[in-house]
């Protein structure tokens, strides 16, 4: 009972220390749009992007019904906090299987302290501001800026279930393990490859454990059956089309090269992460149930990444063969923390000072948790005083459901902040082939208009019945005859288009 209480307190402190960001930040402006539109918020259902093919239907379902039934966006912080807690519990569970943390309070506290320290808001602030932003997720993020948790509630956060899957497998529940991995892919299809490689690792480990057993076959069938719904959905909605190659090129080379082009993201940070994976695997080489799946995942991921690099395949690049690193890096880092803690827990003078060490760990836990809470408060205050706050408030107060807006393409928070449709923005993207082509043409049209070509407005009006144009004061103001200034602040101007 005492052990359960201690684990619960530590996980709560870990959640508090982890750096959440306020709603609605970064990718949330894209991934929340479909769900909010379906929930009938504002006039988002009239937005072009909200009408495109939905890449994450399960996540959209969660967003929609949270608004319709529970009617509180605060719950999205709760959802994220729960997933953070699951992430830490799964990692601690894996480490407990390796190092028997329940058998030593000191080892548990030191392991937990290392785990929380390198995931904390305080650590990320220090390393990002003193070394570089790209170093912030050195010990728990994958390659190409991809990560399991990140700092916001979005579909990729459900990747924490991959770690849960790994834990379930090493404790002897292979069918539940593959089911969990497949559920991850159903929530976010970009994890299809990661789940498949992990399942392949489970099959190999099960076969080596008992070569006469039919278990590997049943493990594979369980995974296939569970992952079938999302595979059918993806193939029906996102596979093929006459402009497939062009859509892939736009996504790979123009919109997300920082995720999809190896030469864009590979560097010193990636090399260090590779070393972390190698060291972590070396530490657990005798733990066959953990070692074999991770070796299979890392080996196949590496081979596929090399193939993508050699043949420069846009299709393979968009599958992200390096994405399994979001599982490998945090697990291998945690294994290394556990090995260090296990050694420290056997040091004589530490054993003699158990009470003092426990008090010190408690103080550090509380300090890191306080830093995380303070950071979230600061970011929420900052979010409420963004440069666009006055413009967005004016739109919320004066706009009607029939209004549509042309906005600077970098204004990604417009839709969610105002609950009004926007013609296009650069950061929120569709994934259907035809939709990607349309998105790119809209981006080009908006850029031409903001470069001074008023004629583009007529063509954009054919796509959407735009009623207002938003522009930054510092930008060129197109001298168009058919609209008039209706709003002005220190940074932004709003023009109404005359009928």
Q: Which residues contact 468 (CB under 8 A, 6 or more apart)?
A: 399, 403, 404, 405, 406, 486, 494, 495, 496, 497
pLDDT digits (tens, 9 = 90+) for 155-186: 999 999 999 999 999 999 999 999 999 999 99
pTM over 0.85: yes
Q: What are the two backbone dihedrals, phi and then psi, of residue 120, each rounded to the nearest 5 degrees? A: -75, 160
Is 150's pLDDT higher than 80?
Answer: yes
Collapsed DSSP state (helix, strand, coil) of residue 449: helix
Q: What are the two backbone dihedrals, phi and then psi, of residue 13, each rounded to the nearest 5 degrees? A: -65, -35
Q: Can you say how many angstroms the Cα of residue 431 is from the centroid of all Cα atoms in its chain? A: 16
Percent above pLDDT 70 for the chain: 99
The two structure tokens encoding residue 317: 């690049």
Tell which residue, 13, 21, 268, has the closest CA to residue 115. 13
Mean of the per-residue pLDDT values of the chain: 94
Tell me the Ramachandran region of residue 143: left when phi exceeds 0, alpha when psi lies from -120 to 50, beta otherwise.
beta
Task: Report whether 159 contacts 187 (CB < 8 A).
Answer: no
Encode 220-249: b = buried (16+ Cβ within 10 Å), e = exposed: bebbeebbeebbebeeeebeeeeebeebbe
The pLDDT, as a whole number, for residue 1 is: 56
Question: Rounded to the nearest 10 degrees, how much is the dihedral formed by the CA atoms of 233, 237, 239, 241?
Answer: 160
Q: What are the two backbone dihedrals, phi and then psi, of residue 276, each rounded to the nearest 5 degrees? A: -60, -45
End-to-end CA distance of the chain: 71
Q: What are the two backbone dihedrals, phi and then psi, of residue 112, each rounded to the nearest 5 degrees? A: -65, -40
Read off the pLDDT band of 103 (50, 70, 90). confident
pLDDT digits (tens, 9 = 90+) for 411-447: 999 999 999 999 999 999 999 999 999 999 999 999 9
Between 47 and 481, where is the model more confident?
47
Q: What are the two backbone dihedrals, phi and then psi, of residue 469, each rounded to the nearest 5 degrees? A: -120, 130
Tell which residue, 203, 154, 199, has the closest CA to residue 180. 199
């Amino acid at each position: 009972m005492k052990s359960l209480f201690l684990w619960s307190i530590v996980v709560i402190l870990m959640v508090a220390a982890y750096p959440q960001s306020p709603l609605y930040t970064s990718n949330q402006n894209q991934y929340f749009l479909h769900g909010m539109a379906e929930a009938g918020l504002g006039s988002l259902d009239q937005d072009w992007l909200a009408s495109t093919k939905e890449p994450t239907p399960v996540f959209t379902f969660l967003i929609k019904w949270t608004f319709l039934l529970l009617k509180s966006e605060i719950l999205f912080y709760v959802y994220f906090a729960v997933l953070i807690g699951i992430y830490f519990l799964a990692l601690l569970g894996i480490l407990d299987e390796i190092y028997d943390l329940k058998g030593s309070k000191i080892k548990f506290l030191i392991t937990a302290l290392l785990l929380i320290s390198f995931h904390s808001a305080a650590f990320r602030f220090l390393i990002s501001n003193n070394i570089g932003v790209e170093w912030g997720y050195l010990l728990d993020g994958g390659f190409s800026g991809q990560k399991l948790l990140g700092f916001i509630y979005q579909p990729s956060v459900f990747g924490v279930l991959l770690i849960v899957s790994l834990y379930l497998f090493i404790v002897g529940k292979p069918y539940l393990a593959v089911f969990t991995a497949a559920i991850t892919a159903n929530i976010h299809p970009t994890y299809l490859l990661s789940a498949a490689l992990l399942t392949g690792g489970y099959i190999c480990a099960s076969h080596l454990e008992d070569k006469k057993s039919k278990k590997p076959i049943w493990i594979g069938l369980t995974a296939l059956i569970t992952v079938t719904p999302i595979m059918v959905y993806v193939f029906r909605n996102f596979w093929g089309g006459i402009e497939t190659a062009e859509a892939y090129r736009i996504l790979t080379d123009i919109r997300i090269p920082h995720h999809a082009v190896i030469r864009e993201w590979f560097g010193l940070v990636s090399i260090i992460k590779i070393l972390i994976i190698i060291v972590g695997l070396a530490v657990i080489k005798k733990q066959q149930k953990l070692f074999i799946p991770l070796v299979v995942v890392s080996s196949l991921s590496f081979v596929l990444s090399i193939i993508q690099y050699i043949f420069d395949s846009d299709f393979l690049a968009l599958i992200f063969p390096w994405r399994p690193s979001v599982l490998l890096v945090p697990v291998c880092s945690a294994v290394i923390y556990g090995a260090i803690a296990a050694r420290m827990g056997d040091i004589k003078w530490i054993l003699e000072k158990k009470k003092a060490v426990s008090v010190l760990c408690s103080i550090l836990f509380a300090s890191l948790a306080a830093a995380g809470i303070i950071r979230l408060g600061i970011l929420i205050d900052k979010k409420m005083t963004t440069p666009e706050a006055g413009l967005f408030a004016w739109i919320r107060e004066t706009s009607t459901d029939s209004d549509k807006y042309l906005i600077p393409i970098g204004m990604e928070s417009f839709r969610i902040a105002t609950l009004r449709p926007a013609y296009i923005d650069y950061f929120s993207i569709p994934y259907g082939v035809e939709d990607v082509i349309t998105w790119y043409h809209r981006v080009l049209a908006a850029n031409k208009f903001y470069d001074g070509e008023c004629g583009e407005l007529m063509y954009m009006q054919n796509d959407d019945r735009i009623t207002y144009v938003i522009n930054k004061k510092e930008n060129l103001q197109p001298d168009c005859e058919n609209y008039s200034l209706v709003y002005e602040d220190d940074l932004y101007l709003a023009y109404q288009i005359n009928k």
